[in-house]
Amino acid sequence: MITRSVYREDHEMFRATVRRFVERECLPRQAQWDEAGCVDRDTWLKAGKEGLLCTSLPEEYGGGGGDFGHCAVLIEEMSAANISGPGFYLHSDIIAPYILRLGTEEQKRRWLPRCASGECILAIAMSEPGAGSDLKAIRTTAVRDGDEYVISGSKTFISNGLNCDLIVVVAKTDPAAGAKGVSLFLVEADRPGFKKGRKLAKIGQNAADTAELFFDDVRVPDASLLGELNKGFVHLMQELAQERFIIAIGAASKMEAMLAETIRYTRERKVFGQTVFDFQNTKFKLADLKTRAAAMRIMVDFYLAEHLRRKLTVEEAAIAKLFTTETLCAGLDDMLQLHGGYGYMMEYPIARAFVDARVSRIYGGTSEVMRELISRGL
């Protein structure tokens, strides 16, 4: 659709590896994952063995030694294949970078090689029942007791919540200080007092293990502090731009893939003696969709080039997420309509894409939060 020049030859070689993995290991298991409500651990280990996890981590910590372009390729291929469930990008390109950037040498050497191999699955515990996107309003606390911290509270909407082995927990260490009293902690899932709650029933992405987490006086040593004490809010803000841009990358790829699928369907489906494609209304709708998909691709590739040079700003990431996710959800609604009744059947790719995509306007910061961020620069 659009001539692309943002990727290098090594990125495209990696794309071939990802595509083979998706076809061999993911597509045949999607229905099984949906029914189980999570992705099996064996798939995580296979992904690690294939070098699909933590691709941008340095080789000395078990990573692939690549850059964000390799992450983007993985997101594109999984989104284009309509795969939902594997929390690889969250694990590899949102949470692992916290450990790489903020962790002590001991923390990095202890955890990162196992993250790259798939033996240790990561989650990040930010959202709470009463806080949502407002990180300053979190109520989970970490109270100093001798040479330990005692963590108490609950979290919700936690991706990788059932599979996780290690959680980056966001907690108040100085409740009176607001955003300046937040810290991050590395908490093992086998710590006494930690409990994984129920799998949350969602309207889409059924294979993604989204759960509640509970911390009942969970004791962790001083060495579990990640980064600086009371600097957690600042640390989180430094990675949120990449998280939001990752969502934008997936949205652009999903739009292109589902547009191609819709064009194929309308060319094959006949009604009133002609194909659905032959109706002028269909052609005009598809022309509009192609235009939107092209705009998404041009924007995302421009910002991807910027991010590969480490120049993507918080505002630009918000713009990318807002535009691509809003455009995707509206576009998928139009594409589902062109499928008629079959678009409402989950056996058709457009139905899965429609329900799975809805959360893209919510997680990583809602569209309303993106608008607030963008408006600050007006």
Catalytic residue IDs: 243
Q: Quickly count: other Cβ atoms within 10 Å of residue 290's Cβ.
A: 16
Residues whose CB falls within 8 Å of the CB of residue 227, separated by 6 or more in sequence, listed in order: 98, 102, 103, 183, 184, 235
What distance in Å separates the CA atoms of residue 318 and residue 313, rounded to the nearest whole number? 9
Q: How far apart are CA 336 and CA 355, in angstroms?
A: 11
255 contacts 292 by C-beta, under 8 angstroms: yes
Structural tokens at position 156: 């919700």
Give φ, ψ of 281 to 5 degrees. -55, -40
SS3 content of the chain, % helix, strand, coil (to 5): 55, 15, 30
Q: Residue 78: which of 41, 114, 58, 53 has the closest Cα?
A: 53
Identify whether the C-beta of residue 68 lies closer than 8 Å to the C-beta of residue 138: no
Q: How many residues does the chain have?
A: 378
Round to whole Å and give the CA distance between 355 and 353. 6
Q: Of 69, 74, 98, nearest to 86 (Cα)? A: 74
User: Which residue, chain included where needed, has tokens 């799998």?
Assistant: 199
Helix axes 9-21, 68-80, angle to 10 degrees: 40
CA distance 374 to 318: 7
Which residues have a Cβ under 8 Å from the Cβ of 211 and sit 6 or more positions away?
Answer: 158, 161, 162, 196, 197, 198, 199, 200
